[in-house]
Amino acid sequence: PAKTQAALFEVMEEKQVSVDGTTYRMAAPYMVLATQNPVEQEGTYRLPEAQLDRFLFKIEINYPNLEEETEILLRHANRKGDELSQIEPVLNAEDIKAYRQTIHQILVDEKLLSYIAQIVNHTRNDQSIYLGASPRASLALLNGARAFAAINGRDFV
């Protein structure tokens, strides 16, 4: 619904949420995850194209097949208490901040920056693409390339 969308974009852009006139600043780091129901579902609205580019990933999940559905039911039927309490954290906020600092220190040659800009620019000028990528897409590609380099143990893209 529109109110949920507005709250989602408030936290993404302004790093805060407002509830009943009270504003709460988000403590870094945090992550925004959203789900989108099929269009035909009552009470849900498609995001305008100008807002879709705020999301780095779109992952489509189809219905499970018969075997997968059976496995879901078996696991649910055989649960023994609160499995969530058994989850152990692998990172804390300080670790994530340190990783973000590392990512920002990954070197990117100016030629690669130009290449990213060219890719995004081509999406805006290709007749077969309805709506080209925005500057946010350029930044997402840059940050994704840096993160990929770091994951692979490199200090450069």
Q: Is 16 helix (H, G, I), strand (E, B) or coil?
A: strand
What percent of the chain stands above pLDDT 70? 95
Q: Is 61 helix (H, G, I), strand (E, B) or coil?
A: coil
Cα torsion for 119, 30, 150, 115, to the nearest 10°? 10
Cα separation, 154 vs 107, in Å, equals 9
Cα separation, 107 vs 149, in Å, equals 9
pLDDT at 5 over 90: no
Side-chain-side CA neighbours of residue 144 (13 Å) = 10
Question: Candidates 3.40.50.150, 3.40.50.2300, 1.20.120.80, 3.40.50.300; correct CATH number of 1-63?
Answer: 3.40.50.300
Q: How many CB atoms lie within 10 A of CB 135?
A: 10
Task: Give the residue with greater pLDDT, 109 vs 83.
Answer: 109
pLDDT band at 146 (very low <50, low <70, confident <90, very high): very high
- Whole-prediction pTM: 0.71
> Do 34 and 55 form a contact (C-beta atoms < 8 A)?
yes
pLDDT value, residue 3? 79
What percent of the chain stands above pLDDT 90? 54
pLDDT value, residue 150? 95
pLDDT value, residue 119? 95
Architecture of the domain defined by 92-157: Orthogonal Bundle (1.10)
pLDDT tens digits, one per residue of 17-47: 888 889 999 998 888 887 777 666 666 677 7
